[in-house]
Amino acid sequence: MKIHYISENNSVLNHFLGQIRNVNVQNDSMRFRRNIERIGEIMAYELSKSLPYKNVHIQTPLGIKKTTEIASDIVLCPILRAGLPLHNGFLNYFDHAENSFVSACRFHPNNDDAFEILVEYQAISNLNNKTVLLLDPMLATGQSIVAVHEKLMQNATPAEFHIVVVIAAPEGVAFLEKNLPDSCHLWVAALDEKLNEKNYIVPGLGDAGDLAYGSKL
């Protein structure tokens, strides 16, 4: 798996990453969503450099201009619900993309720290021969992304598969490397230190879905 770490060089991306982590800023859910969206826009721009392009000729009012445009058909697939603000950022840049949606959550059958991943709601377009961008703000254990990838691949063969996360734990990155094909791309805005005993990312930012949309039962 090819891994791309975007925040290694200073840019406005690091400014937005700092704000989504800051407990003095997080109480403004609208600002949190907007910052995730802006992070998505920056990551979309960086990812766009790796896509295939084709030569085209554009008619302007005064003549013909030779330029390039994206050659692949793109499908954006956020993992609900936390992936929606990140999806908005990507959709701002890839406005021509198709969109698929899937839900995944941790289920604790024994009401303790042990969990399994439930992949339930799906609204998936045709992914065959297309460039799929799977969007999820947090890569903790990696189990959700692997479960969703398996679900998406059951009846499809994409041309390319990219996974986009805002914050990742080393354990999650290692899990993806072990369980996903070498052809996958992983795009990470920030790599954090570790997972804690509850498998939450440290220092992380908390629960991205709750911060964006409110706490759940």
Q: How far apart are CA 204 and CA 195, in angstroms?
A: 9
pLDDT in tens, 184-194: 999 999 999 99
What backbone phi and psi angles, to 5 degrees, belong to 151?
Answer: -65, -45
Handedness of CA 158, 162, 163, 168 (dihedral sign): positive
pLDDT in tens, 67-124: 999 999 999 999 999 999 999 999 999 999 999 999 987 776 666 666 778 888 889 9
What backbone phi and psi angles, to 5 degrees, belong to 212?
Answer: -80, -40
What rounded mean pLDDT belongs to the chain? Answer: 94
Q: How far apart are CA 172 and CA 194, in angstroms?
A: 9
Enter the pTM of the model.
0.93
3-state secondary structure of 74: strand
What number is the average pLDDT over the span 117-133? 92
Name the pairing type of β-strands 101-107 and 116-123: antiparallel
Q: Which of 187, 201, 184 is nearest to 141 (CA)?
A: 201
Q: How far apart are CA 107 and CA 217, in angstroms?
A: 13
* Poorest-pLDDT segment among 35-39, 76-80, 104-108, 160-164: 104-108
